[in-house]
Amino acid sequence: MKRTPIIAGNWKMNNTLAESAALIEALKNAGNKNNAEIIVAPSFTSLAKVAELAKGSSLQVSAQDVHWEDKGAFTSAVSPVQAKDAGATHTILGHSERRSVFGDTDEILNKKVAAALRHNLTIIFCVGETLEQREANETIAVINSQIENGLKGFTAEQLKGLIIAYEPVWAIGTGKTATPDQAQEVHAAIRATLAKLYNEDFAQATRILYGGSVKDTNVDEIMAKPDVDGALVGGQALIAEKFARIINFN
**Residues known to be catalytic:** 95, 167
> Could you say whether residue 15 binds ligand PGA (CB under 6 A)?
no
Q: Which letter, b or e, does each residue of 141-153 get, where b requires 16 or more Cβ atoms within 10 Å of its Cβ?
A: ebbbebbeebbee
Closest to ligand PGA by CB, 116 or 237: 237
3 state SS of 211: strand
Pattern 188-217, binding to ligand PGA, x per CB under 6 A?
Answer: -----------------------xxxx---
> Which of 68, 91, 235, 246 is close enough to bind ligand PGA by CB under 6 A?
235
CB of 171 vs ligand PGA, minimal distance in Å: 6
Residues 37-68: b if buried by 16+ CB within 10 A, e if exposed? bbbbbbbbebbbbbbebbeeeebbbbbbbbbb
Q: Give the whole-angstrom CA distance, residue 82 versus residue 144.
A: 31
Identified binder of ligand PGA from the candidate list 115, 163, 172, 208, rule CB under 6 A: 172
Tell how far CA 122 is from the center of its chain: 10
- With CB under 6 A as the contact rule, the residue among 6, 10, 27, 139 that binds ligand PGA is 10
Distance CA 137, CA 99 (A): 21
Q: Give min distance, CB of 96 to ligand PGA, in A.
A: 7
| Number of residues written out for the chain | 250
Residue number closest to ligand PGA, CB atom: 234
Q: Which of 37, 129, 167, 229 binds ligand PGA (CB under 6 A)?
A: 167
Enumerate binding residues for ligand PGA (CB under 6 A).
10, 167, 172-173, 211-214, 232-235
